[in-house]
Amino acid sequence: MARNKAAKSKRQVIREERQKKRRRQRLLTILAITAGAIIVVGLLVYPSIQKSLAPVGEIITITPASRPLPNGTAMGEEGATVLVEVWEDFQCPACRNYSTDIEPLIAENYVATGHVRYVFRQFPFLDERVPSSNESQQSANASMCAAEQERFWDYHDMLFANWNGENRGAFSDKRLVAFADALGLDMDRFNSCFQQNKYRDEIAKDKADGQELGVTGTPSVFVDGQQLKPGFVPSYQDIALAIDDALAASDG
């Protein structure tokens, strides 16, 4: 009887030890899973934290330039004889040169005279070269929020004035917001628009329309639906000649 009781007690002790061991193993497993989850979340969140803590840096301010009859992302008479459309990415160096050197001449010589309606089309594609970047998309997003306040062209100029290369942080979210502030935009309205990416669909449509027309790079210039020098950046003379031909054809 005593031996049976002792044996039972021993089995109970062994069982209890096994139960304790299993509980420790479960606890260690839970701790390991929790630690792994924390590490994964940390890796996902860290880039965002880095961006949020990054300094804004120096901002080049601009003196807003007048444009003939600006309206959203367009300028000029709605019923103008010739339509010029340009697909651009704000990170594109050739777009910066085009917008600085050629666009003002078209505005002065053709848009201001009432002959041309000029429309900027979004084509944010340079993010595709760096999967972790969204500077093209976010600069397009910000420019549309500025357009909502009828300040697209000022914001357009601010972006190109502060360009310093592709996917190098010039158009971080913090800087894009700071550009709007420097221009004196209604920041509550801008921030709400920007954070919601309110014009995502319009930007996507511009890009899809460009792709359907054969746009593969920027800037791509179209005069009355015809692309000039596909694969190359047309000169002012190329564009002026195409506009003059379109005007002559309309008179005929």
Where residue 115 sits, what CATH number does that domain have? 3.40.30.10
Give the range of the structural domain holding residue 10, as residue numbers without chain letter: 1-53
Same domain for 80 and 23, yes or no, is no
Same domain for 189 and 74, yes or no, is yes
Same domain for 95 and 42, yes or no, is no
Distance CA 190, CA 252 (A): 47
Same domain for 34 and 101, yes or no, is no
Q: Are 180 and 47 in contact (CB under 8 A)?
A: no
Query: Which residue is associated with the tokens 């564009």?
Result: 239
DSSP annotation string for 37-64: HHHHHHHHHHHHHHHHHS---------P
In a domain, 8, yes or no: yes
The C-alpha angle with vertex 189 and arms to 183 and 191, in degrees rounded to 5, equals 80
Q: What sign does the CA torsion over 21, 27, 30, 34 have? A: negative
In a domain, 30, yes or no: yes
Query: Distances from the Cα of 199 to the Cαs of 91, 125, 195, in angstroms?
Result: 18, 16, 11
For 167, phi and psi rounded to 5 degrees? 55, 45
pTM of the model: 0.79
In a domain, 19, yes or no: yes
Same domain for 172 and 203, yes or no, is yes
In a domain, 61, yes or no: no
Q: What total of structural domains would you count in the chain?
A: 2
* Neighbour-count burial for 33-56, b at 16+ CB within 10 Å, e otherwise: eeeeeeeeeeeeeeeeeeeeeeee
Same domain for 132 and 47, yes or no, is no
Same domain for 42 and 84, yes or no, is no
In a domain, 65, yes or no: no
In a domain, 58, yes or no: no
Over its length of 252 residues, how does the chain's per-residue pLDDT go in tens digits? 656 655 557 777 777 777 777 777 777 777 677 766 666 544 454 444 444 445 799 999 999 999 999 999 999 999 999 999 999 999 999 999 999 999 999 999 999 999 999 999 999 999 998 888 999 999 999 999 999 999 999 999 999 999 999 999 999 999 999 999 999 999 999 999 999 999 999 999 999 999 999 999 999 999 999 999 999 999 999 999 999 999 999 986
* Neighbour-count burial for 135-153, b at 16+ CB within 10 Å, e otherwise: bbbbbbbbbbbbbbbebbb
Same domain for 167 and 217, yes or no, is yes
pLDDT value of position 20: 76
In a domain, 5, yes or no: yes
Same domain for 126 and 11, yes or no, is no
